[in-house]
């Protein structure tokens, strides 16, 4: 299970596969290099995107204002930018969210 985390000019990016309308928001694992995230909100008026960013901010330990969707805003597969976060920090923090992580 390898997460696609890349360096960006302003921080680091990761791919996220969002499954909206789940019973609760949680990480479901890694799917094709992307963090698979089940979100409780439906994809209406950006609610699922906002829930995705809120959950990611908590997991990464950064304010939600430092996260943005740079690709795939209306798709299930998205690229999330975390400003002022290194690729190593992002990967380590995301891997700690995976099911079975200690």
Residues 33, 98: Cα–Cα separation, whole Å: 13
Q: How many domains does the chain have?
A: 1
* 48 occurs within a structural domain: yes
Neighbours of 80 (CB within 10 A): 26
Q: What is the pLDDT of residues 10-27, one digit of tens each?
A: 999 999 999 999 999 999
Q: What is the pLDDT of residues 80-89, one digit of tens each?
A: 999 999 999 9
Whether the per-residue pLDDT at 35 is higher than 80: the answer is yes
* 76 occurs within a structural domain: yes
* 100 occurs within a structural domain: no
SS3 (DSSP) at 69: strand
* 101 occurs within a structural domain: no
Residue-number span of the structural domain to which 40 is assigned:
5-95
pTM of the model: 0.93
DSSP states of 15-40 as a string?
EEEEE-S-SS-EEEEEETTEEEEE-S
């Amino acid at each position: 299970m390898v997460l696609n985390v890349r360096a960006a000019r302003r921080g680091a990016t990761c791919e996220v596969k969002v499954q909206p309308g789940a019973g609760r928001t949680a990480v479901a694992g890694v799917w094709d290099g992307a963090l698979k995230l089940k979100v409780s909100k439906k994809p209406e008026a950006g609610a699922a995107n906002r829930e995705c960013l809120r959950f990611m901010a908590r997991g990464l330990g950064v304010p939600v204002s430092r996260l943005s969707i740079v690709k795939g805003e209306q798709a299930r597969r998205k690229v999330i930018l975390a400003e002022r976060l290194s690729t190593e920090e992002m990967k380590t923090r995301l891997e700690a969210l995976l099911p079975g992580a200690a």
